[in-house]
Amino acid sequence: MRTSDFDYDLPPDRIAQEPSEPRDSSRLMVLDRTTGQIEHHHFRDLPGFLHLHDALILNETRVIPARLAASKLPGGGEAEILLLKRRGPMAWEVMVSGKGIRPGKQLEVSGRLRCEVLEDLGGPRRLVRFSSPITPLLEEIGSPPVPPYIRKPLRSANEYQTVYARYPGSIAAPTAGLHFTNDVLADLERRGVALAAVTLHIGLDTFAPVTVKVPEQHPIHTEWCRVSDVVVAAVRGVQSGGGRVFAVGTTSVRALETASRQATREEIIRSFEGPTDLFILPGYEFRSVSAMLTNFHLPQSTLLMMVSAFAGRERILKAYDVAIAEGYRFYSFGDAMLIL
């Protein structure tokens, strides 16, 4: 297996620059991973694919305004900071852009506070210490960390937030969840579908491309997640009753399968809270997830590798070819795929 095995050509005009309006008007490709059959729907049709004894697992993480404008001291040269992971009350792991940002360098952030670079963590990653806690200021001085391929400014920060976002901590949205509206969620509840939520705070791997030739050599950074007793009961109940567990997005899949790794085969899944470094590649045996709702992912990405593990690489790449031919929109604000 090579990283190049997960490549495909995407016309640049297929990269969605803004979300569908309303959100549930986005398109939904439905792929049967057993037969390869493909159907074309809209996201508002999703509830019709779930039954009374199924469960839908969401990721309730909330995106923080993690992108910060900065200037170098002395001199005032421009720089940018992307918060990645809090290490303490004032210490953060970050990504920086700008030349000469080495340990000992001082930066001024939005004219409100300063930070000092403590350690070079490799590449653009640094450990910094702010002069005062930055979390209370983020809503005022930070901006949403949208991916670089989205060049159109957001009309509102809420465009890059799910309607059910609850716990702040991510530097990227769980994009499969961006299609949901309150009406779709209410429709699912009316049908008796069990709704439950995990939390996984999305970190560096959303931005980190796979640059090695062999995927197994790609360094996976840990992301914090929580799978509660409520989710465990929902998954066990659904599986014992013959229902299916629908995971919304690769982040929900990663959280659920991490919790399953802690359990015996008879238990299926255990509650879990902590860091996960799970890297799902073709050949992985899924234990919790029966169906996956996801977006169309970047070539040679860890996310494309995960959906290929779930449905088969050739089947996924063929579905992507169909999506391109049919005019589907790709990436964070793009259309959705339901893999059954």
Q: Kindly write down the DSSP assignment for every residue of 101-164, as one continuous string.
A: --TT-EEEETTTEEEEEEEEEETTEEEEEESS--GGGHHHH-B----TT--SPPS-GGGGS-TT
Q: What is the pTM of this model?
A: 0.94
Asked if pLDDT for residue 206 goes beyond 70, the answer is: no
| Percentage of the chain exceeding pLDDT 90 | 89
How is residue 270 written in tokens?
A: 């255990």
Query: Which of the listed CATH numbers 3.40.1780.10, 3.40.50.150, 3.40.640.10, 3.40.50.2020 matches domain 3-63+154-339?
Result: 3.40.1780.10
**Side-chain half-sphere exposure of 140, counting CA atoms within 13 A:** 9
Instruction: Report domain extents, the chain.
Output: 3-63+154-339, 67-141
Q: Can you spell out the DSSP letters for 8-57?
A: ----GGGB-SS--SSGGGSEEEEE-TTT--EEEEEGGGGGGG--TT-EEE
Question: Crossing angle for the helix pair 249-261 and 229-240, nearest 10 degrees?
Answer: 90
* Per-residue confidence (pLDDT) for residue 213, from 0 to 100: 94
* Per-residue confidence (pLDDT) for residue 207, from 0 to 100: 63
| pLDDT classification of 289: cutoffs 50, 70, 90 | very high
Asked if pLDDT for residue 294 goes beyond 70, the answer is: yes
Asked if pLDDT for residue 90 goes beyond 70, the answer is: yes
Q: For the domain 67-141, what is the CATH code?
A: 2.40.10.240
The torsion of the CA quartet 227, 228, 233, 234, rounded to 10 degrees, works out to -60
| Percentage of the chain exceeding pLDDT 70 | 99
Mean pLDDT of the chain: 95
* Per-residue confidence (pLDDT) for residue 210, from 0 to 100: 87
* Per-residue confidence (pLDDT) for residue 99, from 0 to 100: 86
In which residue are the tokens 């939005």 written?
110
95-136 pLDDT per residue, tens: 999 888 999 999 999 888 999 999 999 889 999 999 999 999
